[in-house]
């Protein structure tokens, strides 16, 4: 299994509060991704990173920001959580941007926004 | 844009039955195709992949063939087990610029003893 951990694994928060999710990898992979998983939608890309301090938006980036100050850590922040951000969040990593390259996923963080 | 369509499910089968989960895609160029599996409470794991037309990906008794003429990548297994109960996701990744991984909605498989 790829060395990817996510923290916290579960979180309950209230609308309007800030929330930060952490993804940590031990594989030294260059590329890291944040997805959200919702019923009927599969996984949708929120943001991704192609190196330290290099990030870009994905399909559903509104309301989210990210930071990557070290190769091994990729943080996802909800500045002011809303109920529509209740979801399961997955981090993923890959060694390259090559289309044939496999992405490896973390165990997920279940977030409930009340 | 790129998209992946797969049967919604749930698919309920008896142990040792034959499994097919349909997946069709829309993409420009020649994408790579993937099947991921998600067991209850876990993240996604790569099950198999194919990177060019007519390639067959296989793993753990599962197979899928990259059919460019029908833009399909159907997942099959000859004899399912209770332990195969999971959600299966079909995904594609284009080989052009901005090549994001695009997922289908997932298909839940339930195998009964």
> What are the per-10-residue average pLDDT scores of chain A (114 residues)?
88 97 95 91 91 92 96 97 96 82 90 97
pLDDT at residue B99, as a whole number: 65
Residue recorded with tokens 């260059």: A30
CA A15 distance to own-chain centroid: 20
Probe site for chain A from B10, B28, B29, B44 (most A CB atoms < 10 A): B44
C-alpha span between A21 and A107 (Å, rounded): 13
Asked if A75 contacts A68 with a C-beta cutoff of 8 angstroms, the reply is yes
Q: What is the mean pLDDT of residues B37-63?
A: 93
Q: Do B89 and A43 touch (CB under 8 A)?
A: yes
Q: Nearest CA to A26 among A101, A83, A91, A97? A: A91
Contact list, A45 vs chain B (CB under 8 Å)? 100-101
Task: Compute the C-alpha angle B49/A6/B58, nearest 5°.
Answer: 15
- Chain A: residue whose CA lies nearest to B44: A105
pLDDT at residue A60, as a whole number: 94
Q: Do A99 and B94 touch (CB under 8 A)?
A: yes
Total count of residues recorded for chain A: 114
C-alpha span between B30 and B70 (Å, rounded): 13
Probe site for chain A from B21, B53, B86, B101 (most A CB atoms < 10 A): B101
Q: Nearest CA to B13 among B63, B84, B64, B72? A: B84
């Amino acid at each position: 299994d790829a060395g990817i951990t996510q923290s916290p694994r579960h979180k309950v928060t209230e609308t309007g509060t800030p929330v930060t999710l952490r993804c940590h990898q031990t594989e030294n992979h260059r590329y890291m991704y944040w997805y959200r998983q919702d019923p009927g939608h599969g996984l949708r890309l929120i943001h991704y990173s192609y190196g330290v301090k290099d990030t870009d938006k994905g399909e559903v980036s509104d309301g989210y920001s990210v930071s990557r100050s070290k190769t091994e850590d990729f943080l996802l922040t909800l500045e002011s959580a809303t109920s529509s951000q209740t979801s399961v969040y997955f981090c993923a990593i890959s060694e390259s941007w090559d289309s044939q390259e496999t992405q490896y996923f973390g165990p997920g963080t279940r977030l409930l926004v009340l | 844009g790129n998209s992946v369509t797969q049967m919604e499910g749930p698919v309920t089968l008896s142990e040792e039955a034959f499994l097919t989960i349909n997946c069709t895609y829309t993409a420009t160029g020649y994408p790579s195709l993937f099947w991921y599996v998600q067991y209850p409470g876990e993240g996604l794991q790569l099950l198999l992949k194919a990177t060019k037309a007519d390639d067959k990906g296989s793993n753990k008794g599962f197979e899928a063939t990259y059919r460019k003429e029908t833009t399909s990548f159907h997942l099959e297994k000859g004899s399912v087990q209770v332990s195969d109960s999971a959600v299966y996701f079909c995904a594609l990744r284009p080989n052009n610029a901005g090549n994001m991984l695009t997922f289908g909605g997932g298909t839940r498989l339930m195998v009964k003893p």
